[in-house]
Amino acid sequence: MDKLFLPVLLGTNRQNRNSVHPARWLVGQMQQRGFTYFRQISTVLTTITVSFALLLITVLLTVSVNQRLGEVAALRALGFSQRRVVLDVLFESALIVGIGGLLSLPLGAALAVWLDSILKRMPNLPAALHFFVFDPQALWIHGGLLAATAVIAALYPMRIVARLPIAATLRDEVTG
């Protein structure tokens, strides 16, 4: 973190605070650096969120697939190809991630407006300044992250389904 930025936030750099208003100085610093810190924090939060989502969806899909091994084995016995049952798992992952991704857009927009209004309560900020500005490129990044999450989260459950021994699974389902 920048040595100048942190003291202003903590209110300990008296020299700077006395000469320029801290909020203006802070905004000046952020504008000079293209809101680098803000973006870095945003990247860290996104990485953490995506990692947790990935883990959660992998666990959900794995549990879901493990509960349906008998049905999957039965479908394979009835002639469903390995490719078809593997693609079904991928589709399920895409569906979960897709629904979550779509819901996240209005929720994220509402959250951005709310946070923006809080941050803008700082005194002496220019009225035109916004901390959250919609960038169309973000939609592409959002879509890319969702697609990557759907595929990576489905890898392990797809492997379970692909390697499922049909006869042994049918036998185990009956004998318990």
Partner 1 sequence: MSDQIPDVIVEAAHVTRSFAMPAGDVVAVRDITLSITSGEHTAISGPSGCGKSTLLHMLGCVDTPSSGTLRFDGQDISALNDRARSLLRLRHIGFVFQRFFLLPMLTAAENVELPQSEAGVARDERRRRSLELLEYVGLGARADHRPSQLSGGEMQRVAIARALANRPRLLLADEPTGELDQATGEHVASLLDRVNADGTALVIVTHDPDLAGRARRVLTMRDGRIDGEVRQ
Residue 95 sits in the site that holds partner 1 (CB under 8 A)? no
- Minimum Å distance from CB 71 to partner 1? 5
The interface region with partner 1, picked from 42-50, 109-117, 135-143, 164-172 by CB under 8 A, is 164-172
Q: Which of 124, 126, 171, 172 binds partner 1 (CB under 8 A)?
A: 171
Residue 172 sits in the site that holds partner 1 (CB under 8 A)? no
Closer Cβ to partner 1, 19 or 175, answer by number: 175
Q: What are the angstrom distances between the C-alpha of 104 and each of 58, 96, 108, 142, 143?
A: 19, 12, 6, 10, 11
Residue 99 sits in the site that holds partner 1 (CB under 8 A)? no
Q: Does residue 116 contact residue 130 with C-beta atoms inside 8 Å?
A: yes
Q: Which of 12, 36, 81, 124 binds partner 1 (CB under 8 A)?
A: 81
CA dist 45 and 37 (Å) reads: 12
Residue 118 sits in the site that holds partner 1 (CB under 8 A)? no
- Minimum Å distance from CB 163 to partner 1? 11
Segment 41 to 70, residues that bind partner 1, using CB under 8 A:
70
| Residue (of 19, 63, 77, 71) closest to 156 by Cα position | 63
Residue type, 113: V
Chain centre distance of CA 115? 18
Signed CA dihedral, 78, 82, 83, 87: sign only: positive
The binding site for partner 1 (CB under 8 A) comprises 70-71, 73-84, 166-167, 170-171, 173-174
